[in-house]
Amino acid sequence: MKKSGILLILSGPSGSGKGTVVEKLCEKDDFALSISATTRAPREYEQEGIHYFFHTREDFLQMRDHHELLECAEFCGNFYGTPKKYVVDQLRQGKNVILEIEVQGALQVKQIYPDGVLVFLMPPNLEELGKRLTHRGTEDADTINRRICRALEEMEMVDKYEYVIVNESVEQATRDILAVVHAEKMRCSRNPNMKKIFKGEM
């Protein structure tokens, strides 16, 4: 019988390298990235079911009211959320589903899906974070300072996570997350039938 996958709830400040690490994980066959639902209009290059699930505002609110979302939030007049069905379907197929999400949303998901594993990815220190944000060359000094302030706020929530991984290199951070997933799959609570299997009762 195929084992269910692990829901990996990944957070971390902008500049921590989440996107790059997630790309590395998703190169593996047993990982899938959660796809969000949104009420905003698709951009020219975006495809349904690949970048987002696009919904009317009415449909989205109905999903929310029927508890079909693991979490949701409104941003700039549009709703965003994580469809429960997509995540559960992937997990049942044995996929480890990555949900890359900010701290408040991550804690919402953990309440609804307690088996989810909270992982916080962080840069080695504030100085390195500042360097990474600056080297991206996509934001001005004020925006970078706001991101650093936000990172300090997010760090205050680290103790609510089960694992913290320092991203000194993408390769090592990826290996660390794979080790977390491997260890989680061996938890006794995830393997309730091992005694019966050992005795030949299953």
- Residue 1 pLDDT: 53
CA distance 48 to 11: 25
Instruction: Identify the structural domains of the chain with CATH numbers, from first to last.
Output: 7-189 (3.40.50.300)
**In which residue ranges of the chain is pLDDT below 50?**
none
| Element spanning 141, H or E | helix 141-155
- Write the pLDDT tens digit of every residue in 109-123: 999 899 999 999 998
Rounded to two decimals, the pTM is 0.83
Q: How far apart (Å, rounded) are the C-alpha atoms in residues 108 and 112?
A: 7
